[in-house]
Structure 1
């Protein structure tokens, strides 16, 4: 494969990641990214026909419970703790910046 990681690519990635890289770090990043792309190309050579697509290695089940109200309407009880109340809502002193 032709290495598509060039100086412009490294410069662009550095800008996106807000990194200031030395020349040595840029060269190392170029080599690392090139190796990653080579590995991905190698993986694409594998025959995956007959392999079912999946989103997770293990089967995933929804573990959430049904959303059921268990404590009911306790508005009056809760509003007793408010410093003030108006139309069923807490009234608090205003705050300013």
Structure 2
């Protein structure tokens, strides 16, 4: 993989100083080097994972929690009688 920083700068409409350009070039070179290592891996016997997060975390059913209205009103900072008071709108 080659790095054409001028092309990337035009696509992203970036203006970089010489120092910034050197830093970006260094970082992108490291990224491309790492991608090259990944490409060289033999993954012929590995099954692809399409939804890794779902399998690890799992999902719980969406069940609403019930709350005691008196308990909710007790912790609300601004209220009047049994109503919650919000900020005034302009």
TM-score (norm 2): 0.52
Instruction: Return structure 1 stretches of 4+ with deviation > 6 angstroms.
Output: none
Gapped runs of 5+ residues in structure 2? Answer: none
Q: Please state how far the C-alpha of 1:38 moved relative to its aligned partner.
A: 3.0
Cα deviation per residue 1:28-69 (whole Å; 9 max; x = unaligned)? 31232133113212311211011122326xx61437576354
**Equivalent residue number for residue 80 of structure 2:** 83
Whichever of the two has the greater Rg, that structure is 1
Gapped runs of 5+ residues in structure 1? Answer: none
Alignment length (residue pairs): 82
Q: Secondary structure at the match of 1:30?
A: helix
TM-score (norm 1): 0.50
Which protein is richer in helix relative to its size? 2
Q: Secondary structure at the match of 2:88?
A: coil
**Equivalent residue number for residue 35 of structure 2:** 40
Aligned counterparts, 1:1-97, within 5 A: 1=1, 3-10=2-9, 12-13=11-12, 15=14, 21-54=16-49, 55=52, 60-62=56-58, 64=60, 67=63, 69-71=65-67, 74=69, 78=73, 82-83=79-80, 90=83, 92=85, 95-97=88-90
